[in-house]
Amino acid sequence: MATNENLPPNVIKQLAKELKNLDETPPEGIKVGVNDDDFSTIFADIEGPAGTPYENGVFRMKLVLSHDFPHSPPKGYFLTKIFHPNIATNGEICVNTLKKDWNPSLGLRHVLIVVRCLLIEPFPESALNEQAGKMLLENYEEYARHARLYTGIHAKPKPKFKSGAISESTTALNVDQTNTSVLNADQKSTTPGAALPLPCPSPLAPSATSTRGNGKEQQAAIAPATDTGVSGSTVAAAAAAAAAAPTTQKKEGGLAKAHADKKKMDARKKSLKRL
């Protein structure tokens, strides 16, 4: 269950909706993941664009949101080592969207797309990595060779983010109240034992049921029922009937024998009177 104490509740709600949208319809070449305990840190895997030195690489990055987000821009960092003019050796990203061009109306989708575009068109004039910026301006082939080398060594495909994880997290925050309300209403309107499974009885506490045979009440212990799809009352009744059948048959046999013996005694008495 996410706590997200670093962000105000209204920001969390809006952010959760945007994250869910990114999870369901991700931008081209970008897959987003989150920390369930803190939505202020957003992770993303960015595929290297085709036709660039970063092609066939997967670069993991993160956006760190401040407490006053979205009034102030997030800070971006590449967690995967990359040779790029606008990305420092410690992974910090330099792009105007995250600095002077920031606008509170800009969403995470826009930021992620801009970062991926930075891999297509670097800006060596505002370089954080001076070596990469100088090399790009003076010798593109040498720059591209270095970038491809870094990509081949460090930007190997990462373990993928768990599918549906963001949807689970946003659901935990009650972002989609409608689905939750409908589910609760369905549960209340469902009759017991009709659609919802009943809890299994404890194997240490067998139940007992009463059966009647020839006017006398007998107790039949019933073993715990297994989950066979048949209701507990049906299983109990069947077991009780099976347990009572031998006793009933035995009593009926005894009564028949006693009746026959009585007839024999009456016949003998009549014979003696005649004598």
Catalytic residue positions, numbered = 94
SS3 112: helix
**What does the block give as tokens for 52?**
């660039």
SS3 250: helix
In sequence order, the 6+-apart residues with CB closer than 8 A to the CB of 208 are 219, 220, 221, 222
SS3 104: coil
Question: Residues 59, 82: contact at Cβ < 8 Å?
Answer: yes
Question: Residues 63, 76: contact at Cβ < 8 Å?
Answer: yes
Pairing mode, strands 75-78 and 58-64: antiparallel
